[in-house]
Structure 1
Amino acid sequence: MNKNFEKFYKKLKEALPSSDWSHIPLTKGLPPERADVVIVGGGVIGWSIAYWLKMKEPRKETLRVLVVERDLTYSRASTTLSVGGIRQQFSMPENIQMTQFSAKFLRNINVHLGVLNEPPIDIQFNPSGYLFLASEDGAAVLEDNVRIQRTEGANTYLLSPTELKKKYSWLNTDGVALASYGPENEGWFDPWSLLNGFRRKAISMGVYHCCGEVVVQMPHSAEIQPVECAIVVNAAGPWSGKVAEMAGIGTGPPDTIQGIKLPVEPKKRYVYVWHCPDGPGLECPMLIDTTGAYFRREGCGGNYLGGISPTEEEEPDISDLEVDHNFFKESVWPKLAHRVPTFECLKEKSSWAGYYDYNTFDQNAVLGIHPLVTNMYFATGFSGHGLQQSSSGPAIAELIVKGKYDAIDLQKFSFDRIVRGEPILERNII
């Protein structure tokens, strides 16, 4: 493209009403030959980083950012297959702060992600809160968690079994010693709307995108389009461990830093949908039982969804996304029916399975630069919390653009802790 055409294109683009117009429709889907930052993974984390990179770039239109996603249908994507929850009820201040940032962002989503001449974004947020139940053994931990949350500004509070029963008459409080409830900045929303909002806005700001799979380049292959880049962001979710291996991470001698793998792997999780006309009403929160089983209302027609994380012995095969319906009957339904007696008469309607980008080291995110491969940045390992922690996007963008964290210090989540063998503890993992 010569300089005269560049000037013409710039003037034409400024004159057009839509901010996402492109003069290269015939090459749609092909990556550029060069990019400053290549983001591997087009889920909500990847697109959040792309958006924030464009927001924080030092001078307008200086960063060439490319997002690579292998499945533009998102039929197997962790983002779109999640249950869409957001909560402040964590035990680590950094996790609480990330969710608080996300909640504030979502409240003003059209201020941030609105695109000229496009309809406004409706994430269908349901602010019904999270309700955590604790047995006698877990009551002290729950109480300490709430203390930390309130120190960070979260409006969570404790409920006794008597107060629980008064607030939720449909609840069986047998075995419950204490509960915590978050009435603000907690609930659930539509994951696809958030993903599409980030994607649409980032593209309108000049982010390149293509459908493809990142591989180690083989010589003289007509099917591979090489892209020269300065920085790679590994936001490949459940498959980020494989992407790290392509960069040589974890492939060296086992007693060296080069031999330490990114400890992120896919874990399959089931979500079940059922109908119960006499179940909890509109006041129903996202409930986390003492057993780890969870459920929430889905719409207003007596429908609910939920599940439970399997034990180590129950971990399902990850080779497909088939659903085990016996798991619901044997491991989920009895726990739900005990906690909500009307669920004894529920009828399963549908189900699906999705992947967690599960961090086997400590179930917390891995963020920031690899200590040796210093042009690879991680944004992975969220272990089921990626959607609500998409606020890590601006943090990674800050790290790339400024070389340091600014709004939230997330250094605790660096790869260095894995090298040191020092896991960080989050006590509210679901």
Structure 2
Amino acid sequence: MQIARSSRSHLCRVLPRRVAPSGAKFSSQGEKPPTEGDPEIVPRAGTHRSTWEILKDEFLALKQGNITSESEILKVPRESDIMIIGGGLIGSSVAFWLKQRNPKAISVTVVERDPSYTRASSALSVGGIRHQFSLSENIRLSMFTTNFLKNIKQHLSVLDMDPPDIQFNPQGYLFLASPEGAEQLVLNAKMQREIGAKVEVMSRERLAHKFPWLNLQGIEVGTYGLEGEGWCDPWTLIRAFKHKNLALGVKYVNGEVVGFDKQTYKVAGSNGYEERYSINSAQVKSEGTIYQSQFALVINCAGPWAGDVAKLAGIGTGEKILSVPLPVEPRKRYVYVFHCPKGPGIESPLLIDPSGFYFRREGIGNHFICGMSPTEEEEPSIDNLEVDYDYFQNKVWPLMAHRIPKFESLKMMSAWSGFYDYNYADQNLVIGNHPYLRNFFFANGLSGHGFQHAPAIGRALMEYIIDGEFETIDLSRFTFERFLNNELLYEVGII
């Protein structure tokens, strides 16, 4: 799919807020008469208007004293080649790769309702990167990200700013398996090594020698990432992407997409003409005003709220193909920080236990972080970001103290919670465009591994949009069509 830049973008001028004169008719393309108490709506972007209509609206606004400054109108661009909904790590990565391809040819607007990223999934993650997956695509995505981070100064440095330092800690992941899961874990490691990942399969004896602080009761085998795995500072990476994008000309907008404007058209079918619709503009609410901004295509990078954005476009609320929703919803997860003076040493890995808990070191002062995903019956409310400390006391700590006896004595220091963009169908990425709304694209549903895949997803989606296919990593199995064909993709033997 090639992007043709509209010539109208060179003719766009600043207009006042439009106030409909008495008896005026609003178009059927998404506009409606304002009612008392509604936010003011800036005129729909991209609609052709004659010079006479422009002068008439400007005169009417001047007469009524309703004049909008140029700086206020430009809070939200009237039109862009590409609009990205969500400016977190995924959205910023997509914007980066699009502008890298040709900085001058493509205009990109990123709409983000939380510019401080206080609730962003990536900023609240533990920042882990692993190559140990059971699906080859996920392995390749992580390996690409590892290589990207090795060269981050080359990719994301900005003139007159210090190069980004994400403080990568290359300790690797350690997956443990019970006798029941041992065979699958070994098979996973075999495939990982064939792709190029540096993963060691460790027997009980080898585990006991390298990690003497482990209680290996119920453990048959482990796999350990020797190279390219570890963790880093997610906030620094998000900030580096955003600073680079701003330098490349990406427009970041503090706002929220609250709707799309739909245009109906008819196509010939077996039973006569069939009515369909398309979208080419969004309603963006910013500081109490709704702006209308046109695009050639839109990319849903809204993280945990991606399902809601898809519904605004009619995905999951219509008929036939449009009756199938984007299966992404927010799930709250807790991260606990504790201190244990006698805990594992500085070379301890990020451990994943068969019971579901994980832990890793945090710095060099004998601080650690840990967490565990709840069962479906234990899923916490997403109404807030409050932390349930009883969950640590009753669920996480007993399992952790059993596996690492040194953790029987520890002190809770702090905790936080964040939202996963959880794909409840198969917990894997959804990428590509919708089969009905061809200019509506997805980059959603990472279910906890979005941080480690974001740089690769941005590049893959750029290739798909500009070149028409995935080139660096083939992600064709991860498109929306798998939900239509019931061809779901599950990770096996991986927590």
TM-score by length of 2: 0.80
Shift of 1:399: 1.0
Q: For the Cα contact (< 8 Å) 1:279–1:302, is it kept in 2?
A: yes
Contact 1:249-1:262 within 8 A present in 2 as well: yes
Are the aligned partners of 2:422 and 2:448 in contact in 1 as well (CA < 8 Å)? Answer: yes
Distance 1:28 1:91 in 2: 49
Give the counterpart letter for 1:40 in structure 2: I
Q: CA deviation at 1:56?
A: 1.4
Residue 125 of structure 2 corresponds to residue 82 of structure 1: yes
Say whether 1:396 aligns with 2:441: no
Alignment match of 2:207 (pick from 147, 155, 164): 164
CA-CA distance at 1:29 after TM superposition: 7.6
Q: Is the 8 A contact 2:260 2:313 kept in 1?
A: no
How far, CA to CA, are the matches of 2:159 and 2:73 in structure 1? 21
State the one-letter code of the partner of 1:126: N
Distance 2:494 2:333 in 1: 14
**One-letter amino acid matched to 2:141:** M
Q: Which residue of 2 aligns with 1:331?
A: 395
> Which 5+ residue runs of structure 1 have no aligned equivalent?
4-23
Give the CA deviation at 1:426. 1.3
- Counterpart position of 1:415: 480
Matched residue SS, 2:291: coil
- Whether contact under 8 Å (1:56, 1:398) holds in the other structure is no
Greater strand percent: which structure? 2
In structure 2, which of residues 294, 306, 316 is the aligned counterpart of residue 240 of structure 1? 306
Shift of the 187–28 alpha-carbon distance from structure 1 to 2, 3 Å rule, reads farther
Distance 1:276 1:156 in 2: 29
What SS class does the counterpart of residue 342 from structure 1 fall into? helix
For 2:65, the equivalent position in structure 1 comes to none
8 Å Cα contact 1:29-1:210 kept in structure 2: no
Partner residue of 2:95 out of 47, 50, 72: 50
Determine the C-alpha separation between the residues in 2 that align with 1:111 and 1:404.
26
How far has the Cα of 1:179 moved from its partner?
0.2
Q: How does 1:21-420 map onto structure 2 within 5 Å?
A: 26=71, 30-57=75-102, 60-216=103-259, 223-253=289-319, 256-390=320-454, 391-420=456-485
Q: SS at the partner of 1:387?
A: helix
User: Any idea what SS the aligned residue of 2:306 has?
Assistant: helix
Q: Which has the larger radius of gyration?
A: 2
**Partner Cα distance (2:492, 2:390) in 1:** 29
- Structure 1 Cα separation of the partners of residues 92 and 451 of structure 2: 12
Aligned equivalents of 1:353, 1:231: Cα separation in 2? 33
Offset of 1:217 from its aligned partner? 5.8
Distance 1:321 1:2, change over 3 A: closer
Deviations 1:42-94 (A, max 9, x none): 1100000000001113xx41101000100111111101000000000001111
What is the CA distance between 1:183 and its match in structure 2? 1.4
Residue 183 of structure 1: SS of its match in structure 2?
strand
Q: Hey, what does 1:427 align to over in structure 2?
A: 492
Give the Cα–Cα distance (whole angstroms) in 2 for the partners of residues 160 and 119 of structure 1. 44
SS of residue paired to 2:448: coil
The residue that corresponds to 1:20 in the other structure is: none
SS in 2 for 1:110: helix
SS across alignment from 1:355: strand
The count of aligned residue pairs is 405
Q: Read off the aligned partner of 2:82 and give its amino acid letter.
A: V
What do you get for the CA RMSD once the two structures are aligned?
1.8
In the alignment, the residues of structure 1 paired with residue 172 and residue 466 of structure 2 have an alpha-carbon distance, to the nearest angstrom, of 35
Q: Answer yes or no: is the 8 Å Cα contact 2:181–2:493 preserved in 1.
A: no
Aligned CA distance change for structure 1 residues 162 and 145 (closer, same or farther; 3 Å): same
| In structure 2, C-alpha distance between the alignment counterparts of 1:306 and 1:376, rounded to whole Å | 37
Identity of aligned residues (%): 50
Q: Which amino acid aligns with 1:147?
A: K
Evaluate the alpha carbon distance shift between residue 274 and residue 29 of structure 1 in structure 2; reply closer, same or farther with a 3 A threshold. Answer: farther
Deviations 1:2-57 (A, max 9, x none): 99xxxxxxxxxxxxxxxxxxxx9956981210100000001100000000001113
| Deviation string, structure 1 residues 400-425 (Cα, Å, up to 9, x no partner) | 11111111110110000001111112
Inter-partner Cα distance in structure 2 for 1:93 and 1:2: 44
Find the aligned partners of 2:426 and 2:361 in 1 and give their Cα distance.
Answer: 30
In the superposition, relative to structure 1, how do residues 318 and 429 fare at CA in structure 2: closer, same or farther (>3 Å)?
farther
**Which letter does structure 2 place at the counterpart of 1:208?**
K
CA distance 1:28–1:182, shift in 2 (3 Å)? farther
The SS at the match of 2:465 is helix
Structure 2 letter corresponding to 1:107: K
Contact residue 172 and residue 224 of structure 2 kept, 8 A:
yes
Runs of 4+ in 1 over 3 A off after TM superposition: 24-29
Cα distance in 1, alignment partners of residues 10 and 101 from structure 2: 28
Residue pair 1:367, 1:380 contacting (<8 A) in 2 also: yes
Whether contact under 8 Å (2:182, 2:220) holds in the other structure is yes
Gaps of 5+ in 2: 1-8, 12-68, 262-282
- Contact 2:260/2:312 (8 A) holds in 1: no
Give the direction of change, closer, same or farther, for the CA distance of 1:48–1:29 in structure 2 (3 Å limit). Answer: farther
Q: How far apart, CA to CA, are the structure 1 residues paired with 2:492 and 2:160? A: 45
Residues 372/345 of structure 1: CA separation in 2 closer, same or farther (3 Å cut): same
SS class of match (2:258): coil
